[in-house]
Chain A
Amino acid sequence: MDLELEDLENTIQDDDDDNVQLTSAELIEMMEEVWVNEKFAPEILPHKQEVVDCVLGQISYMEKNLETLPSTDFKKGIHQLEVDRIRFLVASYLRHRLEKIETYVLHILKEEEQRGEREEELYLTEAEQQFAIKYKQDLEQHFENATNFYPGLPFEDWKSHIVAPNMNSFVFLKAKTAVEGVVIDPSRDDDEVADLTVGSQMILSYNSVTDLVKKGDVQLI
């Protein structure tokens, strides 16, 4: 009857932030935020592989434990449903990323390469990077097949008009920390600014808060 969850390490190490200790509840909370941010940000966000891996680890640990639980226990169904809920969260998050990778493949690979050159943090996981490269190759091959009726045809116009996300898309957000002087429309000269108090919600252009989203100061909603 006992689920032996005592053995489950209820804290997970996050080696990014100087060994911040997270409870599994906080981890799931974080996964939810990561999911919603990815859902609403027009661009692909820096990957959260550590979070995903931890969450998946929790799921398989739980599933293993569940095998030992008799199906007469009313708790078993609840545990299973929770596992399904969390799996949905992860799958949906990864699907959103794949879709952006496919849609903006050239743009994303180019930016990723530049980040590499500048030795900045990369946005794609290794597996996503591989997927993206393969996707680009297959697309190019298909285009080549479509235009090889005339050798040397200048069909590369599409590469000088790369499909890129609209960074000015409007988004809803909630401030997690107080931020002063958010420039409402960075692409224009008027310096209209907004101050965000903790918990306040706004709609504005994603461009105004790109960095704040990545830093975690604001949460897209």
Chain B
Amino acid sequence: MDPEEVEFLGEKQLVTIVPLTTDDDYLKLISGDFGPFRMGMPVKVPLWVAVQLKRQKHCKIQPPDWMEIETLEAIKNEEKLSRNFTKMPSKFYMVEAKQILGCASDDISRADEIRTIIKDIWDIRMSKLRSSIDLLVRNNGASAVVTNLTLMEINSIRPILPHTLDQIRRMKNFKPFHGWRSQDTSFVSDSRSSTSFHS
């Protein structure tokens, strides 16, 4: 899966925007109704809608609760101390961070610091992930629980982990694709098979 496709799935996450204009009509999308949009009144919309409206200067984006220095520092510390993966505040934290910080950094105080901490958290988790994968492969594992991994993280080890486990499995129960043995018997019992080519 391409990262853009993970992003695509993450873009339906709801975020809060503050409209800069008023429009009492609901936005009636196929994927749900959103609105009404009243100047200054926070309202939830899918991330991709928020980005469009922000680009057209129709709104400000309110960062999610967790997108804030102290919360993120706490998450980062916990991630560092814990042997396991901690549960992230959003299963699409990277997508949300990239999109919101990308188009609405003027709506967020200390956006650069936030970006750095999120990148730190990602890096800590990635290095943990690589060690766990290595262990799984060394133990010739046939399954693993990955409950607290987010989709972007899972996608970052695809296809290398699934493919490696596929190959380990093949090496354990190797069967060549050709059924060499069975072919032989039919041939011997019919020594003329090579003479019967003529249709």
Please give the residue numbers on chain A whose beta carbons come within 8 Å of chain B beta carbons, in ascending order. 1-3, 5, 8, 23-25, 27-29, 32, 36, 39-40, 58-59, 62, 74-75, 77-79, 81-83, 85-86, 88, 150-154, 161, 166, 168-172, 184-185, 187-188, 192, 194, 199-205, 208, 221
Q: A202's contact among B27, B145, B163, by CB below 8 Å, is which?
A: B145
Given contacts A25-B32, A151-B198, contact A169 B8 (CB under 8 A): no
A81/B48 in contact, CB under 8 A: yes
Assess whether B149 is in contact with A62, with CB atoms less than 8 Å apart.
no
Number of contacts between A and B (CB, 8 Å)?
113
A contact residues around B147 at 8 Å (CB): 199-202
Query: A185 CA to B32 CA in the complex, in Å?
Result: 41
- Shortest C-beta distance, B97 to chain A (Å), equals 20
Q: Enumerate chain A residues within 8 angstroms of B161, measured Cβ to Cβ.
A: 170, 203
Residues of A near B31 (CB, < 8 A) are 24-25, 28-29, 82, 86
By secondary structure, the B interface counts as mixed
Q: Among A23, A62, A204, which residue has its beta carbon within 8 angstroms of that of B142? A: A204
Cross-chain contact A168 with B166 (CB below 8 angstroms): yes
The size of the chain B interface, using a CB distance under 8 A, is: 40
Known: A39-B1, A78-B52, A151-B199. A205 touches B169 (CB 8 A): yes
Taking chain A's interface residues, is the majority helix, strand, or loop, or is none over half, making it mixed?
mixed
Chain B residues packing against A (C-beta within 8 Å): 1, 8-9, 23, 25, 27-32, 48-49, 52-53, 56, 58, 142-147, 149, 151, 154, 158, 161-163, 165-166, 169, 173, 177-178, 193, 197-199
Q: Tell which of B1, B25, B29, B162 touches A170, judged by Cβ atoms closer than 8 Å.
A: B162
CB closest residue in chain A, given B27 = A75
27 pairs from A and B in contact (CB 8 Å cutoff): A1-B25, A5-B28, A8-B28, A25-B30, A32-B9, A36-B9, A40-B1, A74-B53, A74-B56, A75-B23, A82-B31, A152-B198, A154-B197, A161-B177, A166-B166, A169-B166, A170-B161, A170-B162, A171-B162, A172-B162, A200-B147, A201-B146, A201-B149, A203-B144, A203-B162, A204-B142, A208-B143
